[in-house]
Structure 1
């Protein structure tokens, strides 16, 4: 009897144990309730039974792949990574496979480039060298309290992929492995695992449907272009209870992403958190998120020819950030034009609700990022930027219950700016072209139709010589319950070439030279209905052809 027990493999023994447990507990329970009984527990494919060793030295690529293939051929089961460090190169995950990494278990990427390949069938954009990947897989899972470690510091050579503003990838470093890539997959669940130290992006989800992340932690700060989540043209994506600390975009949504929710997550990065660009990004809800120590714009929507609509950001706390919100829209076809991009592009129906933020004077180094990061001049003294150009407008943008405290320190030279360059690619790119930063400390808006501000409050730590808000060609705006600190040397609000604007219950929180300055002959239909303007030296100034009939002061 003893010898027969010793002949049982770990895989068979665990499978028998799991089946017995289900039969004695869950099965009986479900039958008692009259529910359909579950199928017998899936088989467990322990990678050690295929020759893998968790010593951190043996290259286990072939052994682990054999376990994955066996699980797939059996039409489902669990591939088990037990406690230990299992060194590996590129692995292909497949349909019906659950990769379970136990607490204390680590899937460790090789330090050698020759141990990695491109994912078979993965598109080459942004590189397709990868540690773990899946192509056209269905019902695939990664779970457990263990770790996937890309050993990405081994691939650091000081070069990024050069896909930043104006670089276009020329001379970029693409020959390094991403941690995870899923392409054209459906029904993917990733939960509880710790993903860390990728040589490139951490998680790339490309043209997938029905994707769920829950309880995932990402720490990715060892190499350049260390993104967190990176989605491209996906549908039905749900991210919950995750924590992301990375170096580049934390949750990039490029291309045509639709039906996406992100909730109860925390984020920190050098660059952006929620990054949108191109395609048809529509029907996306982001809520109950904490953003801290983030520079380069936490919420950044930057597009040329795109159709972006129905985005909501609610209950968001930002601490120590720059450029809290930036939306740039050129509407130009440029290199983004395609044969089917016939309709006029748009960005519309964007909601910000329940936002609390503190904005730093300039980006600050992260002590755990070991390489220097360029600081753009336009990132300094930043504000919310809504910037469209030419015949194109941002439409139906609303801010409700928003309270932001800025570092302040803006200058009279910044406040004097009138000719803002027509740049939409990056919010800080606009202010790099107009050296010194934006002319407003709180909100700069150009070419916006249907702008709503309700219960919005702007304050600063240090005196700021700039207006709290500058409108340039803004049409159909409603401002209710707006409060802001002013400057004794500047106007609180400046409207240029803007019309059909209603202001009600506005408060001037500290002395300002002027409450409202209206500029340009095109300005008209501006109504100020009540408010507490006692701390303004004067209530109204008209300049550059603005007529007396353009503004009505009431109450």
Structure 2
């Protein structure tokens, strides 16, 4: 046999080997691992779970690399992201979640399309999309429950929605060094992007478009440290960006959230509701909120959480149900936590008359009682006051139109405002409130400087009610000029309301009124 024929045979054998084991050869050649080289098909119909997982495993085995999704739709069930691996999506690439619940087995006790546990140096990036097809998945689960094929023990009959099995879109637990950049995540059946007990997290220029089903929290941070969430656009059918502490000992520390736009059928930026651990050293700035059902900023400790050193600034919210809620409650039988050292500055909010998410396809739940428009609330509980709150450069535009025929709680009955210590924390939780601007109760140390409250229509209630408040300082307070008794004190032992506190075109007869003590 001639040398040339031997060489040709060798070449033929090489290519045959490459066809059979091409994925492994390609993987060993460099840092990129095309999912198509591992057998994935971008037709939106073929289930590619095994092929994608094979690419991830190969990258992990070879000390890391990029698992690349080219243009097309790659249908998949749960995939496990491992240390050193980046999921990279080219423009036009879509990871499409399966609508078959059997494609989402529990991994370390949870379900998600992209899941990771105790991994390091993991990333999701690119210009593509992760689409969970969450509504279709949730309705399939719902149908399986009602036909008796797959009974959901957590099924919510009151709200007609399944619990177990819906899962999340992205779930990273006990991971270190995470980057999620540039990607669009959409249509989850449950929470969208979730980071739990993890550290050193960067989420940057991520678009969340998830109004597929209930509980579509946009970005959840649960007991994490050293986190940056920046330049994100969130449109979610539940809380937009949410800090949680769902079990005792979980610490949220050194969190930075900035330059984000949020629309939500719940609250825009929220601490809680799960609040068993701590939230410390959190900075939130340069946030735009619009068409949001609940609060622009909600800071809640109701399960014993320690919340301190919180800085919020430069918030603009249009057509948003409530400006600010700070709530220290006591539910679930645990020892009350605390909220202290909170600074909120440079905030402008426009509150509409009626629900702000009327055009949203998944609207927030209505309250079941008659009420007038709600004020911002800062409220602790008896014996456990919120401490050291600073509000500066705040402007809130309220709709007015309150009517005593709709609901009426006279100032002589401030004791009848619900404490609701164990209630779900929300600005509607106290029932009808006796003020239209701010309701402040059980607070020790609050400074309000340069506060402007505007009414579009008449409201018979005062702008401010302070009940059991110590260390109150008010400076440069601007309220409508044609009303009297705008500031009501009850059990306020001392306050510093300076001569310039109430700025107006003309001074009314009386600006403050002190109710008798108990």
The TM-score range, normalised by the shorter chain, is 0.7 to 0.9
> How far 1:168 moved relative to its partner?
12
Whole-angstrom CA distance in 2 between matches of 1:423 and 1:370 = 27
Q: Is the 8 A contact 1:270 1:366 kept in 2?
A: no
1:537 alignment counterpart:
509
Shift of 1:162: 12
Match of 2:80 among 92, 95, 100: 92
After superposition, the CA RMSD in angstroms is 3.1
Match of 2:148 in 1: none
Q: What per-residue deviation string (whole Å, max 9, x for no partner) do you get for residues 477-511 of structure 1?
A: 111111111564x521100110221112123547x
Larger deviation: 6-15 or 272-281?
A: 6-15
C-alpha deviations, 1:98-129, integer Å up to 9, x for none? 1101110000001111111112x24xxxxx22
* 1:121-200 equivalent positions in 2, closer than 5 A: 121-122=108-109, 128-157=110-139, 173-200=163-190
Give the whole-Å Cα distance in 2 for the aligned partners of 1:149 and 1:429.
Answer: 34
Query: Are 2:372 and 2:403, in contact at CA under 8 Å, matched by a contact in 1?
Result: no
- Partner Cα distance (1:378, 1:212) in 2: 44
User: CA 1:364/1:207 → structure 2, altered by over 3 Å: closer, same or farther?
Assistant: same
Structure 2 portions without partners, runs of 5+: 1-6, 143-151, 246-250
Give 1:171 deviation, angstroms.
Answer: 8.6
Once the two structures are superposed, the pairs formed by residues 135-534 of structure 1 within 5 Å of their partners are 135-157=117-139, 173-255=163-245, 256-277=251-272, 278=275, 279-304=277-302, 305-330=304-329, 332=330, 334-335=331-332, 337=334, 345-369=337-361, 373-375=365-367, 377=369, 381-412=373-404, 413-414=408-409, 416=411, 417-418=413-414, 419-424=416-421, 425-432=424-431, 437-485=432-480, 488=483, 491-504=485-498, 505-507=500-502, 509=504, 534=506
Residue 322 of structure 2 aligns to a residue whose secondary structure is coil
Q: 1:368 deviation in Å?
A: 4.5
Equivalent in the alignment of 2:44: 56
Structure-2 separation of matches of 1:442 and 1:44: 57
SS in 1 for 2:123: strand
Measured in 2, the distance between the counterparts of 1:203 and 1:63 equals 23
1:6 deviates by: 8.5
Q: Using the alignment, how far apart are the partners of 2:27 and 2:41 within structure 1?
A: 20
- Judged with a 3 Å threshold, the aligned counterparts in structure 2 of structure 1 residues 542 and 43 are, in CA distance, closer, same or farther, namely closer
Secondary structure of the structure 2 residue equivalent to 1:296 = strand
TM-score, normalization: structure 1?
0.80
Q: Partners in 1 of 2:196 and 2:206 — Cα distance?
A: 19
Instruction: Give the secondary structure class of the aligned counterpart of 2:494.
Output: strand
Give how far 1:156 is off.
3.6
8 Å Cα contact 2:237-2:363 kept in structure 1: no
SS in 2 for 1:536: coil
Please state how far the C-alpha of 1:252 moved relative to its aligned partner.
Answer: 1.4
Q: Structure 1: any 5+ residue segments left out of the alignment?
A: 20-41, 123-127, 511-533, 547-555
1:167 Cα deviation after fit? 11
In the superposition, the TM-score normalised over structure 2's length comes to 0.85
How far apart are the structure 1 equivalents of 2:463 and 2:354?
Answer: 18
Q: CA deviation at 1:212?
A: 0.5
Aligned length: 478
Shift of 1:86: 0.3
Counterpart CA distance in 2 for 1:372 and 1:325 is 18
Q: Distance in 2 between matches of 1:393 and 1:86?
A: 53
